[in-house]
């Protein structure tokens, strides 16, 4: 049987990985400054993570959400403590798009309304409602176009107020730092206005932290460099360090009811154990503070590359050039053995390393960049 051919692939076959390195089938070592789309948070094959998942697998890997699973509560408590959002409620699922679907659905249940406001350049996933609030016509099928969505520019308070005044909006969804879109961010003033206007017009504010959450940005969630309290926060990617796990945090104003949300795989024993191991390592190795320090180091080094402008925050970074970076990215992989990411802004090279990355890894990257430029 053939694979459905939807991914343009680089000619690299990773077979093992450790820390910030990935090794291919010829045992060639690659520096991973992409973390497989911002997924690897605590480093590849972290020993505590491997042992936790192995031990759990030997006990029980899965049972459905029809039984008691105390590991879910353990995970909720740990997320509450590390994020300082103890008052929120946790619903677990298995991917970023699924987190978005559930977030939008909750907003619609809660408000009784159905129109969503999203932003230019947004990426929220590929499933039904998630792709409808994603700003990319190419990946939106006719089926997805039945959702009521309006895209706005960041930082245009008047446009936002005008749409909300119509009274039919259930949610405003935003990425505190855009990922796929290329590291653009709303201003703090606009984020505060979004919260105020959502309250005024009874709409839910959803912070999509699928990519920026779990300490990548230098705070537990990227929105936490402002004072807002979104109604719903979505998370996935770095949460499982490669294990498929996602979730939403739901403000206490939104009430649960049996049957409102549900999933077969979400919150299974193995997924919870993987996420708990990630939280252990984030805390023990102080990776949030480390991400902040490494961002300072990256910015300093980038001063020596005058062709590039740094975007993003923490270890969710981009370098914006005045040319399209596709060929550069290929040469970084093929000639320098360094993984980096692209974005829908073709001039932005994305840097999303494991949060354990060290100064010498950025030295290697900047030396390589210097050679190639």
Ligand X SMILES: Cc1ncc(COP(=O)(O)O)c(C=O)c1O
Task: Give the binding site for ligand X (CB under 6 A).
Answer: 37, 95-97, 100, 123-125, 175, 179-180, 208, 210-211, 236
CA dist 67 and 59 (Å) reads 16
Pick 191 or 236: Cβ nearer ligand X: 236
The string of DSSP letters for 42-91 reads S-BT-HHHHHHHHHHHHH-----TTS--HHHHHHHHHHHHHHT-TTSEEE
Please name the residue that has the structure tokens 């105020």. Answer: 196
Q: How far is the CB of 147 from ligand X (least distance, A)?
A: 16
The string of DSSP letters for 20-45 reads TEEEETT--EEEESSHHHHT-SS-BT
Pick 45 or 344: Cβ nearer ligand X: 344
DSSP state of 233: E
Pick 95 or 241: Cβ nearer ligand X: 95
CA dist 212 and 260 (Å) reads 27
Pick 123 or 365: Cβ nearer ligand X: 123
Q: How far is the CB of 183 from ligand X (least distance, A)?
A: 11
For residues 186 and 197, is the Cβ–Cβ distance under 8 A? no
Q: How far is the CB of 37 from ligand X (least distance, A)?
A: 6
Pick 228 or 305: Cβ nearer ligand X: 228
Percent helix, strand, coil in the chain, to 5, is 40, 20, 45
Please name the residue that has the structure tokens 């073709």. Answer: 346
Identify the CA nearest to 89 among candidates 256, 229, 223, 222: 256
Pick 238 or 369: Cβ nearer ligand X: 238
Q: How far is the CB of 216 from ligand X (least distance, A)?
A: 11
**Could you give the angle at which helices 269-284 and 47-59 cross, rounded to 10 degrees?**
150
Q: How far is the CB of 180 from ligand X (least distance, A)?
A: 5
DSSP state of 262: -
Pick 43 or 246: Cβ nearer ligand X: 246
Q: How far is the CB of 250 from ligand X (least distance, A)?
A: 17
Residue number with the shortest CB distance to ligand X? 96
What six digits make up the tokens of 189? 């003033």
Torsion of CA 77, 81, 84, 89, to 10 degrees: 0
Q: How far is the CB of 191 from ligand X (least distance, A)?
A: 16
Q: How far is the CB of 175 from ligand X (least distance, A)?
A: 5
Pick 43 or 341: Cβ nearer ligand X: 341
H helix or E strand, kind and range, residue 311: strand 309-313
């Amino acid at each position: 049987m053939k694979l459905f051919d939807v991914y343009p692939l680089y000619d690299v076959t990773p077979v093992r990985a450790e820390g910030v390195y990935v090794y291919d089938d010829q045992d060639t070592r690659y520096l991973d400054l992409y973390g497989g789309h911002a997924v690897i948070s605590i480093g590849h094959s972290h020993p505590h993570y491997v042992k936790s998942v192995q031990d759990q697998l030997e006990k029980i890997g899965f049972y459905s959400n029809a039984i008691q699973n105390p590991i879910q509560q353990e995970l909720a408590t740990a997320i509450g403590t590390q994020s300082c959002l103890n008052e929120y409620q946790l619903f677990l699922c298995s991917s970023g798009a699924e987190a978005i679907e559930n977030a939008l659905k909750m907003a619609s249940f809660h408000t009784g309304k159905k129109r969503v406001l999203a932003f230019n350049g947004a990426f929220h996933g590929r499933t039904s409602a998630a792709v409808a609030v994603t700003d990319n016509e190419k990946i939106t099928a006719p089926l997805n176009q039945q959702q009521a969505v309006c895209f706005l520019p960041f930082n245009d308070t008047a446009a936002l107020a005008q749409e909300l005044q119509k009274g039919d909006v259930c949610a405003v969804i935003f990425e505190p730092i855009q990922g796929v879109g290329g590291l653009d961010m709303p201003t703090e003033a606009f984020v505060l206005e979004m919260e105020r206007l959502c309250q005024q017009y009874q709409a839910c504010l959803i912070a999509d932290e699928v990519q920026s959450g779990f300490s990548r940005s230098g705070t537990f969630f990227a929105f936490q460099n402002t004072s807002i309290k979104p109604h719903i926060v979505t998370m996935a990617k770095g949460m499982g360090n490669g294990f498929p796990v996602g979730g939403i945090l739901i403000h206490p104003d939104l009430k649960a009811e049996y049957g409102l949300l549900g999933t077969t795989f979400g919150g299974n024993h193995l997924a919870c154990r993987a996420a708990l191991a990630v939280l252990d390592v984030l805390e023990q190795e102080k990776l949030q503070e480390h991400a902040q320090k490494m961002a300072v180091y990256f910015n300093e080094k980038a001063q020596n590359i005058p062709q590039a402008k740094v975007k993003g925050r923490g270890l969710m970074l981009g370098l914006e050039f005045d040319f399209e970076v596709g060929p550069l990215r290929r040469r970084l992989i093929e000639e320098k053995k360094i993984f980096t990411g692209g974005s829908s802004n073709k001039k932005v090279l994305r840097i999303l390393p494991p949060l354990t990355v060290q100064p010498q890894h950025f030295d290697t990257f900047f030396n390589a960049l210097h050679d190639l430029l």
